Amino acid sequence: MENKQIHNIPASYAERDELRNRIQAFVGDLAIQPPLSLDDLSNFADQLIREHTLDTAVKGWVMVEIHNQVWKETIASIPYERRVLLLPKCLSNSVKCQAEIDELGLLCHRCAHCPIPDLQDKAESLGIMSIVAEGFTSVVGLIQNRVVDSVIGVSCLDSLEKAFPLLIGNAVPGLAIPLNRAGCKDTQVDYGYVIRMMSMRSDRKVELLDYDGLRADLGKWFSKENLASCFSPAKDQTSSVALDWMGGEGKRWRPYLLAATYLALTGETEAPADVQRAAIAVECFHKASLVHDDIQDNDKERYGKPTINALYGVSIAINVGDILLGEGYRLLSQCDARTLTAVAADAHIALCRGQGMELEWSVSPRSLTLDWVLEIFCNKTVPAFEVSLMLGLICAGDDEGLRQVFHTYSRALGIAYQLLDDIEDFKDDCPVALRPSAILAVLCEQNPEPAFIRSLLECEDLKAFLDQLENKPLLQTALERVGQMADSYHQAALAALREITNVELKRLLFRVTEQILK
């Protein structure tokens, strides 16, 4: 739904019901799976409005109803006791309502002057939890903590406009039922439609990933005790330092992605031994690359602690990185699928090429182009995401079509991530060293005068140079352009997921995209 849009709602129940039937047929012909991005919802709404010559002012309402039709089958497959009904206080009778409101929502006195008690009674009879509160944020916590798996929310279109990014970003299985008019009191909703939507039931079972449970499992896999049992038995210094480094700080996105991809594709609830080995191997490769990166950049701190090279010197640090690479490939060799090693090796080689491009430029700085910087991103950053998805896919049985989807998705996600990372450098007061970045490339392309390029490449602190009064507008322009590029690649990552028919895999990657790029 677009900002500052005037939301019109079909005037009568008959008009709304007829249009919902049209939307149901429209979505059925599309054969699409949830979740959908806001861009997809907007484009589908435009298409339907054109096909049926509708007033464009109903676009927001149409987007919500398309969203509902896409999610219906999934919601119907979720047990009643795993759903929550969210109702707005504005459905109450503002004159006669005497209900109190506490931190959990409205405490209804059941005076029968509004539809709230009847809707809550129906929900209770089905086993559905119900809450009277404003905004979807009140139930996202219930979803994230696995108290419930889905939400059926009644709200005005203005509130839904604010809530949709939250629902889509978290890939929440949900239905959003618009009120029949805007306003903060004495509103109305199509009562029968709410009852129909909350009563849907399907014999098909949906297994939703327990994201928090998987995170807890990762914590166990990367405990020092478990790592010691997976690594080669040794008590030398190099092995000990490597073990401590592997069990230390880190977001562990790569092993999470690998394991979650496997679980989403197979429907299993626990990762078998081969998946655990592959997940640990992926983190071995990542941690090795960080050790070598810190050496090459002469960094003294990571995760707020001294780097391996700062603690033990460069020679030992190189050896620690190398032993982690060896452990990673040894773990992959213990898995059944030989192709795991080939995929990991390709990613490893790409990373080295990208790092080599960056190091070569650092020795001989020169004017940059965006295409060249994006090539570095495609070698250094993209494979980090792609290899995790590919290894999870191979462990689940492999699929050539999904390999192509993962490649396209990872490229867009990796570039968007790196573009945002380049912008982040300019959001604090820390100095910014000269390195190949999207910001620097845009500055070079937009200001190609040799004197400016020379000044740019000779400065020790890029941020301090660009903070000079005459250069501030140049930096602002560069930040805006890179921000627009990041948004474009963000949308491209979501667009790449359209071909995925596995709802849980698609939900996973929607969540991952928003969490990584938020």
C-alpha separations of 461 from 302, 428, 431, 479 in Å: 20, 13, 6, 17
Euclidean distance between the first and final Cα of the chain, in Å?
A: 19
The rounded Cα 398 to chain-centroid distance in angstroms is 23
C-alpha span between 66 and 45 (Å, rounded): 7
Residue pair 461/431 in contact (Cβ under 8 Å)? The answer is yes
Q: Are 409 and 512 in contact (CB under 8 A)?
A: no
What pLDDT does residue 229 have? 95
Reference 85, options 63, 118, 110; nearest CA is: 118
Residue 77 vs residues 122, 150, 200, 263: alpha-carbon distances, Å: 19, 10, 8, 19
Give the angle subtended at the CA of 421 by the CAs of 417 and 427, to the nearest 5°. 145
DSSP symbol at 226:
H
Residue 344: closest CA among 392, 399, 400: 392
Type of residue at 140 = V
SS3 102: strand
Check residue 133 and give its pLDDT: 78
Residues in the chain: 518
pLDDT at 242: 95
Contact 131, 88 (CB under 8 A): no
Which DSSP string do the residues of 485-508 spell out, in sequence order?
A: HHHHHHHHHHHHGGG---HHHHHH
pLDDT given at position 28: 93
Query: Residue 262, Cα to own-chain centre: how many angstroms?
Result: 17
**Residue 164, CA distances (Å) to 116, 136, 450 in order:** 23, 9, 48
Please name which of 210, 67, 72 lies closest in space to residue 508, comparing C-alpha atoms: 210
- Residue 51 CA to residue 58 CA, distance in Å, equals 14
CB 498 within 8 A of CB 34: no
CB atoms within 10 A of CB 278: 27
CATH numbers and ranges of domains, the chain:
13-199 (no CATH), 207-336 (1.10.600.10), 338-518 (1.10.600.10)
pLDDT beneath 50, residues of the chain: 1-6
Instruction: Tell me what pLDDT residue 109 has.
Output: 60
Quote the tokens at residue 8: 């019109």
Q: Dmax of the chain from CA atoms?
A: 78
Give the number of other Cβ atoms within 10 Å of residue 448's Cβ.
Answer: 10
Q: What is the pLDDT of residue 98?
A: 62
In 334-435, which ranges are continuous DSSP H helix? 339-363, 370-380, 382-395, 400-424
SS3 312: helix
Return the residue matching tokens 């040894």: 330
What is the 8-class DSSP label of residue 49? H
The CA–CA distances, whole Å, from 128 to 88, 195, 280, 395 equal 16, 12, 40, 37
Which residues are registered as beta bridge partners of 174? 151
Note whether 457 and 484 are within 8 A (CB).
Answer: no
426 touches 432 (CB < 8 A): yes
Packing angle of the helix pair 503-517, 400-424 (nearest 10 deg): 20
- The pLDDT value given to residue 360: 96
Residue 119 phi/psi, 5-degree rounding, is -65, -40
Burial of 462 (0-12, 13-18, 19+ CB in 10 A): buried
Q: How far apart are CA 457 and CA 480, in angstroms?
A: 21
Among 144, 148, 15, residue whose Cα is nearest residue 85: 148
pTM: predicted TM-score of the whole model, two decimal places: 0.90
Q: Residue 468, Cα to own-chain centre: how many angstroms?
A: 36
Copy the structure tokens of residue 495: 């667009």
If one counts every other C-beta atom within 10 angstroms of the C-beta of residue 347, the result is 22
C-alpha to C-alpha distances, 65 to 5, 26, 147, nearest whole angstrom: 17, 11, 26
Looking at residue 304, its pLDDT comes to 85
| Residue type, position 148, single letter | V
Residue 295 DSSP class: H
- Summarize pLDDT for 360-398 with one digit per residue, the tens: 999 999 999 999 999 999 999 999 999 999 999 999 999
State the pLDDT at residue 166. Answer: 79
Residue 251 phi, psi dihedral angles, 5° rounding = -80, -20
Classify residue 55 as exposed, middle or buried by CB count within 10 Å of its CB (0-12, 13-18, 19+): exposed
Cα angle, residue 481 at apex, residues 476 and 484 outer, rounded to 5°? 125
